[in-house]
Each structure stands twice: as C-alpha cells, then as structure tokens.
Structure 1
Amino acid sequence: MNRSKGRGWAAFGRVSLVLVCVLAAPLNAASTDAAGFLVPVTVAALLCGAALLVPRLRWPVAPLLVTVATAWWGWPLLPLMVLALFSLAVDLRARAAVGCAVAALGANLFSYSSTSLWTSQSYASTVLLPTLAVVVGLWLGNRRRLLEALAADVEHLRTESKLREEAARAEERSRIAVEMHDVLAHRLSLIALHTGVLTTRSDALPAPVADRLGLLRATSVEALADLRDVLGALHHPDGARTGSELSPVMREVRELVDEARTAGQQVELFFHGLPEQAPTTHRLAVYRLVQEALTNARKHAHGAQVTVRVDYRAPATLVEVGNTPGAPRTDTPGSGYGLVGLRERVSALGGQLTAGPAGAGAWRLAARIPHPVAIEKNGSST
C-alpha cells in the first residue's frame, strides 16, 4: 500500500512539472521581441507535454520530439528539454540523454537568433541545466534501483525464513512420527508376544477366551504391519541411527544431564514425580526440550551454570531450563530453528512453550504440557 501511494505521488509530481513547463513555454515566447513565435511555441509545447505524459510515447517519441522542438525554437522550450533529459537519466539511458542534449544544443546554433540558447544572457543556463538534469537523474535512477534491489532481497529473505520455519516444523513432525512408530511398535510387539504365549496354552482356557486371544494376536500383528508400512519410511534410508538419535524412551533426562556433565557443562537437575506418571509423548517432549536447551547453553553461554527442573506429576508435565550468562562460542554454528521445532512439538500436545532472556544475559526456557483427562484421573500412563 505504501509503495502504490508513493507511485501515485510520483505520477502527480510528474504531471505537475510537465504542466508548469508547458505553461512556461508560451510565457517565454511572449517575452521575446520577435513576432509570430507565440502560437507555434505553444503548439510545440503542448505536443511535447502530451508526449512526456503518455507512457507509451516516453521512449523514444517524447525525447526525439522535445529535442527537435528545442533545437528549432530555442530557450522557450528549454524547461521541457531539461525534463526530458531528467526522465531519460532516471531510466538510466545516459547515452540517449547526452545524445539528445548535444543534438538540441548543436542544432540550435543554426536556428532563430532571438530564441537562441547561445546568447550571452542564457549561455550559463544552457550548459548548466541539461548537465544538472542528467547528473541528478542518474543519481535518482541508481538510487531507485538500489532500493528496489534491497526490497527484493528483504522479500527473498522473508520468504526463505518462512520456508525454513516450515521445514523445521515438518522435520519435527516427522521426528515425532518416527518416535511414536518406535513406541507403538514396541508395545504392539509385546501384545503380540504375550497373546502368542497364551494361545499356546489354549487347551487350559475356555473356548471363547482362546478364540478372543487368537483374534487379539492376529489383530495386533496386522496393526504392527500396517504401522510399519505407513510410518517406516520416515526412518533413515539406511536404517542406521546414531546413539544421539535413539528413542528418548530408552534414554531418560538423567542420562542426558550426565552426558552434559561429562562434557564439562555445569548442570543442576531437579526432579519431581516419576517419568511413568506422564504419557510417553510427554517424556519424548521433555527429552527434546532439555536436549535443545543444553545444546543452546553450550553454544551461547559457554561455562554458564544450567538449572533443569522437570515435574511429571499431574495435571501437567512441567519443564524449565535456565542458565546464567556465559561466553558465546563461534565454533558451533546452528540452524537457528530448534525452538521452532520444539514449539511445534509442544503445540501438538496442547501445551505452551516460552523462551527468551531472563535478565542480565541469562536465558530461560519453560514448557507446560497438560495431561489427558485419563492421566489426571489415574495418575499414570497406560
């Protein structure tokens, strides 16, 4: 909207300048001693003004028409010539502007002496005004293109940043799907295993129970196969996963903190409740939150004291990680979108995540993930 408004003001200013120059031409002609110049100069000024205002005639008709009229009628049309040269320079047509100026000034040497551009009274303005118009026009044209290039770069960076955030969210969703695949596959495998063991002893069970166990085992095996078909493609193509990418169900926050302490990081951990009191999805989110917070502390606050607080108790899982001021490190670059993925993960669970400065160079990350209604009632995950 601001850009269109600016263009409107520019068009209004151009029309105003052309009208002023057109009105000045007959006034300049009337001030000369020669008779019979008023009508042809007025007609020439109107034609030149119309050509300058019509977008389709601005190049090359308008510059050629103004050049010929100025070469023939001289200084009464000089303001229109200056305006035409300025327009050419703004459009970065420097050679055309210089050519038109040289042609008009040179041809005017053989025109009427009463309106000549080369009299002692108008000699200075004849040279100065066209030169000034070309120089100022080139400067404004280059400045306008620089601003357009900067605006395009800003828009490109804004689009790139948006795409990166979307990619980070998609990556976090894929990671959640992979982790849930691991969790559900493990539990379905246990169901299939135990029901398989029970079906081997079907002789000692009532027939309806044995039939239901067989059905349960077959259904769990089919569900496991369907789950692997749908989500298995989200794993790494080679199927290899490093130790840092193992499922957080197998690695709790205590192990993560112990690794950070071994690496020289000062971490203080406070636990409330047991991990089993929270859903598996909450435990996955807690692990990722603490992992990202410790990583950011190592990057941006080297040597700082880090405090980790985790509360698994109902009605909500709470995570808070804060660090004191420290020295930033330049040897550990990052994508800068870790918090985007964490916010996506916490939002998917119906929680809230806040992260930001905590005063005097400190940093604080806090998340609250409410338990499902069943969790609140039972006090533990099923």
Structure 2
Amino acid sequence: MGMRIDPAVDRAVDLAIGLVVGVVVLATTHGTPHAAPLDVTATLVAAVACLVLALRRRWPLHTFLVSSVAAEAYLVFNHKTANGMLILAAPLIALYTVAESASRRRALTIGVLAVSAFAGLHMLAKPASWLGAENLALAALGGLAVAAGDGARSRREYLAEVEARALRAERDRDADARRRVTDERLRIARDLHDAVGHQLALINVQAGVAAHLLDAQPGRAREALTHVRHASRTALGELHDTIGLLRQPGDQLAPVDPVPGLTGLPDLLDTFRRSGLAVSASGLGDALDLPVPVDLTAYRVVQEALTNVCKHAGAVAVHLLLQRTGDALTIRVENAPAAHPRKAATPGVGLVGMRERVSALGGSLEAGPRPAGGYRLTAVLPLEAR
C-alpha cells in the first residue's frame, strides 16, 4: 500500500508554498529601487491569492477561483509594474491541483476557460498586447499546469490499480491454495474410504460370521478369522501407503505398491468370494489397455460396489459385467435379493465417493433396487477421460 501523509502536514506544506510565492511576488514587485510603493490593499489581495493555497487539496476548484480573482485584483492595483505577473503563479498552482483531482475533460475545460479569462482581462487592460509575451506565457504555463496535474492524477490511478491487482492476485492465490488443499483432502478421504474402508468392511463381516459360528462350527469360525487376519494385514498396508503420500517434502518416502487397476480384479474377486459372496464376472477382456484414470476409477467402483453388497446383503450371488462399447466402458454390478437385509447404522459415503470419481472423468453412475429384487449399480466411464 502507498504511504499516507497526514492532512495537517499537507496543509502546512501548501501554506509554506503560498508564503514563498507571496514573498517572491512582493519582493520582485515592490523591492526594487524604481518600483511602486507597497500598498496595504495590494498586500492584502496578494496574501489572499497566495495563502488560500493552503486549502487547495480540500477545495481545489474554490481555491482556484478565489486565487484567480485575488491575483487579477492585485494586477489591477499594480498594472504599471511588469513584475506583478508573478502573482499568477498562485492560481496556476491551484489549477494544477484542479487537474490532479478532476477528470481530464473537466480539467481541460477549466484550464481553457481560465486561460481565456486571464487573457481577456489582460486584453481589456492592454488592448495592444493580445498576442504579447505575457498572454503567450500565460497560455503556455496554464497548459503546463493542466498537463502536470493530469499526469499526476494518471500516475496515482495507475499505482492504485497496480496495488488493487496485487491484492486481487494475492487473494486469488490464497483461494486457489485453499481450493487445492480442499481437493487434496477430499481425494485422500476417497482413497482411504475406497482402500481401507473396503478391507474394514470385510473384517466386520467376517468377524460377525466368526462370532456366530464360534460354538456351532469352530472350523468355519477359524476360517473366518483367517480372512479377518488377511484383510487387516491388507488394510494396514494400504493405510501405510496412503499415509506415505502425506509426508512432507524432503522426507524419506517408503516404497508403495503400484496403483491398483482392473488387472487386479481376479485377486479382488477372490477376496470377496472368500468372504461368502458368489461372484461371477464376464467381459474381463474388455478391461485391457485402459487409460490410467479410467482403469483406477473402474477398479474403485467395482471394489466399492462389492463392498456395499457384502455389508448390506451378505452372502448372495453377485454378477459383474464389464462391457467396452465405442469410446466408453460400462460397469454393471447386480446382486440377488438378500435373505436378511442389513441396514447401515449410519449413512455411507461410498456411493458419494463413487459419483465424485465417475463425474470427475465426465461419466455417469446410476444405482438403485432392481424390479425383480436385489440391487444394481451401473457406471459409464468415457475412455477419453477429462
């Protein structure tokens, strides 16, 4: 931001300028050996013309008018002396302030009218000098005052615009940084839900099976606990990989596994089959040679869809279809009706996360009950991902 000056200091400086102009005018007009004697009225008029400059920043136009009238009155009282023209320096300074504080058109209008008025009065006082040196100098100095004031105003507006742009750029950078942090936080949340949440859901299901069969069928309960151990180990590994992405720059990064894709579907389906789902799949050959974003999103959609079936429907038959048509990959997951549907204790965010992932690629996702019972999820992913 620009440096601000106390208005009282500005007025003191302007008053000093007026005093200097007044002293110079009186000294050059009445301080020479053959000059006219100093008149009290002329002195008062000169003081008004010069000292009113102390108010030029607050009331520029009024100051200019008062100084101009007083300066012309002083010239009338001292029309026989040539040095009296220096009194016009006071209204010219005021004219500079008018041009600095007003628009360019207004400043030019006031400047032309003022110089014309001064020249007209001088012509009335000295008809033979309408193209004399005094009027020409007055016109040149008036134009210079207007040009200098307009230049100062333009520079001040330019600096204000530069400062405003800098502030806007800083605010935009802050907003962009906050947006990036929010996007990254949401991405990490989705990754944690898709990776770790999937394994925790399997652990929950298998732990429930083990608790139910512990007394009646210890062998199956032991098998379920083995699945719990395997899923928990996988969840810890995926959590370790995700946390590794949160390290600060310069930290030693732990090695991570490759990003999952549809090539890992057989292992994923085996995991759900061990959990009790009767999973069948078709069209796995259509899942080859996909763009990386589409491949990862398709894997996460299948993973989340099967996890939801496992949580809410239990051990039911599930069919997975992958179909590549034209420039899109269609994923359909359908499950049979559950014998004992499970109601979630709290609303899940898995479907929300899937929609966000699919929408980010420009695709669509539909999910809902089937007419014949059970549940169906259909996702369409464009191969030319955005």
Q: TM-score, normalised by structure 1?
A: 0.48
Larger Rg: 2
